[in-house]
Amino acid sequence: MNILEVNELSVILGGMKVLCEISFQVNTGDYVAIVGPNGSGKTTLMKAILGLLPYSGSVYFQGESRATFIAQKSLGYLPQRMSFLDQRFPATAKEIVLSGVYAHKSFPKKLSRQDSDAADEIMNTLKISELRDRPIGKLSGGQQQRVLLARALIQHPKILILDEPTVALDPQSREIFYDTIQKFNCEQHVTVLLVSHDISLMGEFASKLLYLDRQMIFYGTFENFCQSTAMSHHFGVSRHLNLPQTLNDD
């Protein structure tokens, strides 16, 4: 069953068309890596899907409007950068996780014991319980990202959207993070859309690749990506691709 359907999505920013008629479908349980060069529109696509940017075309979640889907707490989002994560931000790791619940509360917004228990549960699942009372700004980059992942997962979303979640992490922290995402995808069937520049690593984890360069060049499995005639033409080669080594990300 399709959990996400994008039809002829285009985005114009500053008078320039930065995305042109993007169409694709994501099945429940898919793990889709979105890749492409600098300025190809990867982050723009994520923001448009989330309704954070104006666009033409249509976006449906399980056949529903975005507003209905988000209101059901069915979508988790980890953006590329969180501006509040510095040493001066006065919040503990658990408070950051709980902010993922608070955002969905109706007025008057008040956290319950059940919310606190849910935060403890997801932090335990991600093996970050020991960080509960530590200031978020005092944590390492890898620890911060796992806290933010817990924030995105606390509502048990059906689909998780991540925009370059490992860009500032060391190799060990990156591997732990990707292993965690894969576990949720495989064991809890959370559908994943992840923007990344590491095609070789995405070939290990993702079930599908979407290659953007302002328009959709390729969408399919990693194996088909390596053998794609469209991708060979795009890179200006006449044979099947090995893993592209020249891609840089936003």
Torsions phi, psi for 211 (to 5 deg): -100, 120
- Chain segment 79-100, per-residue pLDDT in tens: 876 655 566 678 899 999 998 8
Q: What pLDDT is attached to residue 245?
A: 44
Mean pLDDT of the chain: 85
Residue type, 198: D
Torsions phi, psi for 122 (to 5 deg): -70, -35
Q: Which residue has the higher pLDDT, 130 or 243?
A: 130
Q: What pLDDT is attached to residue 198?
A: 74
Question: Cβ of 110: how many Cβ atoms within 10 Å?
Answer: 9
Which pair of structure tokens corresponds to residue 156? Answer: 């048990």
- The single residue listed with the structure tokens 């988790």 is 76
Across the beta sheet with 56-61, the strand order is: 16-27, 2-13, 56-61
Query: Do 183 and 127 meet the contact criterion of CB atoms below 8 Å apart?
Result: no
- Chain segment 222-234, per-residue pLDDT in tens: 888 777 787 777 7
**Would you say residue 170 has pLDDT above 90?**
no
What is the DSSP-derived secondary structure letter of residue 63?
A: T
Average pLDDT over residues 177-206: 87
- Chain segment 9-54, per-residue pLDDT in tens: 999 998 999 999 999 999 999 999 999 888 899 999 999 999 899 9
Predicted TM-score (pTM) above 0.95? no
Per-residue pLDDT band for 246 (boundaries 50, 70, 90) equals: very low
Q: What pLDDT is attached to residue 117?
A: 94
Average pLDDT over residues 135-153: 89
State what percent of residues in the chain have pLDDT above 70.
88
Q: Which residue has the higher pLDDT, 186 or 72?
A: 186
Alpha helices per DSSP H over the chain = 42-49, 66-71, 93-102, 113-125, 141-153, 171-187, 199-205, 222-226, 229-235
Residue type, 4: L
- The single residue listed with the structure tokens 């954070």 is 52
Report the distance separating Cα 40 and Cα 81, nearest Å.
Answer: 18
Per-residue pLDDT band for 241 (boundaries 50, 70, 90) equals: low
Question: Going by C-beta distance under 8 Å and a sequence separation of 6 or more, which residues neighbour residue 242?
Answer: 226
Q: Which residue has the higher pLDDT, 63 or 226?
A: 63
Which pair of structure tokens corresponds to residue 3? Answer: 């959990």
Supply the Cα-derived Rg of the chain in whole angstroms: 18
**Would you say residue 155 has pLDDT above 80?**
yes
